[in-house]
Amino acid sequence: MSKTILLTGGTGFLGSNLLKKLLSLDYNVILLKRSFSNTHRIDDVLSDIKCYNIDQIDLTTVFKDQSIDIVLHCATDYGRKKTSPLQIIEANLILPLKLLQLGKENGIKCFINTDTILDKRINHYSLSKSQFMDWLKTYKENIVCINLALEHFYGPGDDKTKFVSYIFDCLLNNVNNIELTKGDQKRDFIYIDDIVDAFITVISNVSNTVNGFFHYEVGTNKSLSIRQLVELTKDLIGNKVTTLDFGALPYRTDEVMESSSDTAAIRSLGWVPKYDIKLGLEKMLLIEKNKKLI
């Protein structure tokens, strides 16, 4: 009998990719979303899943109606749309804490949280993520508590507010100029398929895992400067028009100059990334170009 997974954030970029992968592996997926959520990423599979609108029901209803094995929390508020700290806390701390408590009361086996590599001092988003991880640890005696801290993932279909997708969109459309910082910041960019595989690896191992807290960092272990990423993307696209104006923008006051992760724990479960940056960008380019032809 397949496991039943309660998924939040399934209409977003990461969550929608996870949802479709889980369905392809015959997991039973229950989706929590808002009544006004844009479902364009998952319209093709909506008929295959049970959905609950969390702004219209009490969360206890979900656990009474369904026998849930795993809660997979992918919903997040990055604070990019001038959302208040209270809104960020609601999505990144209050909602998952409610689900964690209800899960404990209703006998779930595992709670998987989606976290960030970012230092908690960077912004309200990273602070809220860090605070929930601390709460998650307090449930480790009763549940398998898993925290997946993700590096900078990218791929086709992501929001244009995300850096890689923004650069792709500008270069594919031959804009005249892109204003950038000097671009010396280094990031570990990881393709979405590798992120999804990391989640599947962890989920596949849940049955053999005893209660406790487990932290996994997910990245490629290879950092690339922003300048290198943008120049590589421009070359792969074959853009000869756009001027890359490095140095036009200042660094943020809280700029992280190098992001790195320790992936030993997730690799010990058998996971390894399949895409280097060039292969990932090439696949993204192929898919984005095909979209333009449709």
Number of C-beta neighbours around residue 28 at 10 A: 19
Residue 59 lies in a domain: yes
Confirm whether 168 is domain-assigned: no
In a domain, 232, yes or no: no
Global pTM value = 0.94
Residue 118 confidence (pLDDT): 65
Asked if the model's pLDDT at residue 119 lies above 90, the reply is no
Lowest mean pLDDT among 11-15, 112-116, 219-223, 243-247: 112-116
Percent of all residues in the chain with a pLDDT value above 90, rounded to a whole number? 80
Whether 283 is covered by a domain: the verdict is: no
Supply the CATH number for residue 138's domain.
3.40.50.720
Residue 245 domain flag: no
pLDDT of residue 126: 77
262 within domain boundaries: no
Is the per-residue pLDDT at 293 higher than 70? no
Q: Is the residue at 55 inside a domain?
A: yes
Predicted local distance difference test score (pLDDT) of residue 200: 98
User: Tokens 């009763």 appear where?
Assistant: 142
pLDDT, tens digit (0-9, with 9 covering 90-100), for 13-28 = 999 999 999 999 999 9
The count of structural domains within the chain is: 1
> Is there a domain that residue 259 lies in?
no
CB 96 within 8 A of CB 73: yes
Which domain range does residue 144 map to?
Answer: 1-150
Alpha helical stretches, state H, the chain: 13-24, 59-65, 85-89, 95-105, 124-137, 163-172, 192-204, 226-237, 264-267, 277-293
